[in-house]
Chains A and B, each alone.
Chain A
């Protein structure tokens, strides 16, 4: 398949309301009927063009507000693509932002890094083929890497486009063995998140780039902050959910979708056909319970009945910080630590039955 051109700005700003069924409510921005809502249907409702504008504005203002790309500083930014609807949305926002006129142009030079986490070689090949078709949507450098690359001691060839095979696939068996040696499902899930983050930090740093952009939405961050809290990462809640996260000495993590919900992204993608850019890069969660999957389900269900759930969790998380900050940084997650590893990472590393399978930097 080829990814068609999406004329986002023209479509989204069409003045006339298209379709919709009467709701007896008015758009909060214009005299048209209100047919779409954000997180809380009892609050603001919008007509379709104003809804699309509201969503785009949230993205643009999250970046503009942070003055992330001040004059003189490099605009090169690694954009993490994980195949989710939110990642597809992020590609759409970047492409639209780069195509805008000078006044509104997104001041960013993207390098996309797609991370594959499937563990079956045939499925990995299928995912790579799919990502290859998505590449044409955003014209810039793309790098596809497997999570197992984090086990490689040298990362220099990761950003080399001359390589024929997907970097990291040569370490696949070791990664599978590593996961098998972790005692609990929660531990495996946590290890996957930590290894992925460690890989992205290393890659971004190796490429000489100081900024990394993720597509974490409000839903994703709220769920992550609660499950991380349960795993002993309360001290990291504020950093884990910040729009700009600077705990790593050389790489800042940018989360421009923090104030966007999966609902808003899902509706936006539906209207702009951005779902064409999605791919499932990882294996489905296993049937056995884990802190992460139970937390995800809990938050999703609570949000359905109590529409302030996500915003309340995130506003609380942003206030949770340590009273003091040590100068020592954890060698795994780079958070403040009293030792080589923070207590939470020490806990996850202790769950590994075969430490020799870990990257040498973590042994």
Chain B
């Protein structure tokens, strides 16, 4: 079985994942998933750039990139420790924007 989740990128973060804003992902259910363990999965399966540090830095989300889980601020949900549930929507919003 799999855990189906939606992973969204906006605010410019979509440039890191082939400009695709919405990704439907099926995570293997043979382990527990947290945001912490989801990050390397994203780096391996979704990122189209050879610079994963633009999204992931020192094992966490790079400062300047916001994370919402089901439209809720991850800072209120335990951040990296949040345990992902089926049908969750995880959104990465970049506020780092060249001008």
Q: B63 touches which one: A265, A281, A303 (CB < 8 A)?
A: A303
In Å, the complex CA distance between A52 and B44 comes to 35
Determine whether the beta carbon of A301 is less than 8 Å from that of B63.
yes
Q: List B contacts of A45 (CB < 8 A).
A: 73, 76
By beta carbon, the residue of chain B nearest A34 is B76
Q: Does A280 belong to the interface (CB within 8 Å)?
A: yes
Determine whether the beta carbon of B66 is less than 8 Å from that of A266.
yes
Q: List B contacts of A283 (CB < 8 A).
A: 98
Q: Does A97 belong to the interface (CB within 8 Å)?
A: no
Q: How many residues of A contact B (CB 8 A)?
A: 39
Given A35-B76, A36-B72, A41-B76: A269 and B63 interface contact (C-beta under 8 Å): no
Determine whether the beta carbon of A267 is less than 8 Å from that of B68.
yes
Determine whether the beta carbon of A37 is less than 8 Å from that of B75.
yes
Q: Does A270 belong to the interface (CB within 8 Å)?
A: yes
Q: Does B95 belong to the interface (CB within 8 Å)?
A: yes
In Å, the complex CA distance between A281 and B93 comes to 19
Q: List A contacts of B68 (CB < 8 A).
A: 267, 270
Looking at chain B's contact residues, is the secondary structure mostly helix, strand, loop, or mixed?
Answer: loop
Q: How large is the interface on B (under 10, 10 to 19, 20 to 34, 35 or more residues)?
A: 20 to 34
Minimum CB–CB distance from B5 to chain A (whole Å) comes to 13
Contact code string A77-99 (vs B, CB < 8 Å = 1, else 0):
00000111100000000000000
By beta carbon, the residue of chain B nearest A304 is B63
Give 12 A-B pairs besides A41-B73, A266-B11 with Cβ atoms closer than 8 angstroms: A19-B72, A34-B76, A267-B68, A269-B11, A269-B93, A270-B10, A270-B68, A280-B98, A284-B98, A300-B96, A301-B63, A304-B64
Binding site for A on B (CB under 8 A): 10-12, 63-64, 66, 68-73, 75-77, 88, 91, 93-99
